[in-house]
Amino acid sequence: MRLRYIDVGPTERDADATPLLLVHGHTSRIEEYDDLVPHLARRHRVLVPDLPGCGYSEKPNCAYSLQLYEDTLLGFLDTVGVQRARVGGGSLGGNLTLRLGHRVPDRFPELAAWAPAGAWQPAKLVADVGKALGRAAGRFLFWPFVWVQSRYWYEARWPKRDQTLRDTFAYYREVMGPGFARMYFEVAFDQFLHTHFAYAERITQPTLLGWGDRDHGLGMGEGVKRLAGMIPRAELKVFPGARHSLANEVPEQLASAVLEFFGRSRLAPAG
């Protein structure tokens, strides 16, 4: 499967020795991090792939799941020759960050997850119904579903909100096809089957959790706070006045928090 990706930043001799893998959100693409990457790439080698079914990577009409995305990201790092990496991302990207950190802790020594999906209790009935609807009429139901979902992405007072939504929907029209629509429903509702609460206490790496204090969809605020209390070496960073899409709304503040956290955690002793 062909993936589009970027690999930017200083060489390893000039950078912090551990690269940073960024994972974008659900249905999103590399461009989600356009305003974030330049800040991070001053100090880190930064890798950002378009996940399968998203952006301008291939979009086969196949089964999509969190497991597929984890395997893809591990295979991606193998292909570009990166054995160990910090990993971060928001929403779906935050979900995959925590899942990868739990699955392969030695490979991902530090984590940064903001507004991570999966900070909730599983809802199997919701997942089953959503996947069935997607199989039945995915391309037609996509637009009403994503329109409702998009109302929760950005704080209403964010100045770039309307233009960003127009750009996002234009991108959706450009890449729409059977694989993209199937990915939307299967990945969205696969996330309702899983929770980080089941293994959070076993995530032992330094972990930065980010939350915009206007982001309360699906109990996000309470869920992130609960995770911060369960993950042994977690720190919670709250971004006042921001909603779900922190990399868009507050990129400089988010980058500063991530860089500062990684700098401290690299020097701190374990335990």
Tens digit of each residue's pLDDT (9 = 90 or more) over 144-172: 999 999 999 999 999 999 999 999 999 99
> For the chain, what is the mean pLDDT?
94
Summarize the confidence of residues 245-251 as an average pLDDT: 98
DSSP annotation of 184 reads H
CA separation for the pair 246, 257 (Å, rounded): 12
Above pLDDT 70, what percent of the chain? 96
pLDDT band of 16, cuts 50, 70, 90? low
Q: Each residue of 66-85: pLDDT tens digit?
A: 999 999 999 999 999 999 99
pLDDT in tens, 79-108: 999 999 999 999 999 999 999 999 999 999
Predicted pLDDT of residue 145: 92
Q: Is a pLDDT exceeding 70 seen at residue 201?
A: yes
Per the DSSP assignment, residues forming a β-bridge with 208 are 112, 235
